[in-house]
Amino acid sequence: MSMHYWHNQDVTIPIEATESYNNVNLIVGLQILTDLVNHFSCPSCHRIGKISSKVTQRRGLLYHIAFSCECSFETSMCNSSPLHNPASSRMDELNMLACIAANVGGIKRRVQIEHWNKYQSIYAKSLVTTTEKSLAAAAEEAADQAQAPFDEEGVTNVTVTIDGSWLTRRGHSSLHGLATCCSTADPPKVLDYQVLSRHCSTCSGLLGVKEFDKDTYQRLLIEHLESGYDANHTGSSAGMEAAGKNLCCTLDYFRELQRK
């Protein structure tokens, strides 16, 4: 198997010859891009090194760049593809990836809150859809492997394990906890979960908006409180494990786990 290597002064990273890098996002300076373009001749006048660049539009990480030659030939490009979503006009994949990275890293966006919320909305709906499909598939698999018969309501009885956890660190009081309900199928899979929190991250994030626009902050805060408050646990950090287990045990979800 042939291998190619990419070098810099710090590390050498092996790259397999079969690995495709045709659809990756690169951090490239505009001047470097312009210098590259000027290695080729203009399609109109065929001269080399006569093309200049200019950013004509910017939305977050999305840039529209125009290239023009001294002979008046012009062309343009965009550094991201449109987001394939029926409700995502003027939205792009690069900003969506930035939104996902910010959520994973716990980074709160403080500018262009209206545009940010559109990406957040699509991201949240996608997570819910993916989660529901995954849990439903796990439930079907658990029911298929179940040894117990149907109950009087026609529901397949399955054996599950329930466990909870919270972040423990010396001198640290955890704000979040998690409880999971897993099947005993082979392999075991998550059937449901409960996230407990003593802290509302959305309220904290909105404080950044308050510094710049108090009217927008008040409106978004009201919308958030109407849609639901993130904090759902008032006890100790250690108590989140037991509370999460109890929630998993009492969910109506198990009464509809699998009907046949």
Q: Where are the domains of the chain?
A: 1-79
pLDDT of residue 259: 44
pLDDT of residue 258: 44
Distances (CA, A) of 129 to 126, 136, 137, 173, 250: 5, 11, 12, 32, 23
Instruction: Tell me how crowded residue 195 is: count the other CB atoms within 10 A of its CB.
Output: 15
Q: State how far Cα 129 lies from the chain centre.
A: 13
d(CA 202, CA 220): 10
pLDDT in tens, 155-166: 777 888 887 777
Of 207, 204, 218, nearest in space to 175 by CA = 204
Mean of per-residue pLDDT scores for the chain: 76
DSSP designation for 45: T
pLDDT of residue 104: 74
pLDDT of residue 35: 94
Q: What is the mean pLDDT of residues 22-47?
A: 90
d(CA 46, CA 198): 66
Answer whether residue 74 shows pLDDT above 90: yes
Least confident of 106-115, 150-159, 200-209, 230-239: 106-115
Answer whether residue 233 shows pLDDT above 70: no
Answer whether residue 1 shows pLDDT above 50: no
d(CA 69, CA 58): 22
Of the ranges 37-51, 143-157, 181-195, 202-216, the best mean pLDDT one: 37-51
pTM of the full predicted structure? 0.54
Answer whether residue 176 shows pLDDT above 50: yes
Answer whether residue 88 shows pLDDT above 90: no
pLDDT of residue 27: 85
Answer whether residue 70 shows pLDDT above 90: yes
pLDDT of residue 260: 37
What is the SS3 assignment for 36?
A: helix
Positive or negative, the Cα torsion across 44, 50, 56, 61?
A: positive
pLDDT of residue 247: 64
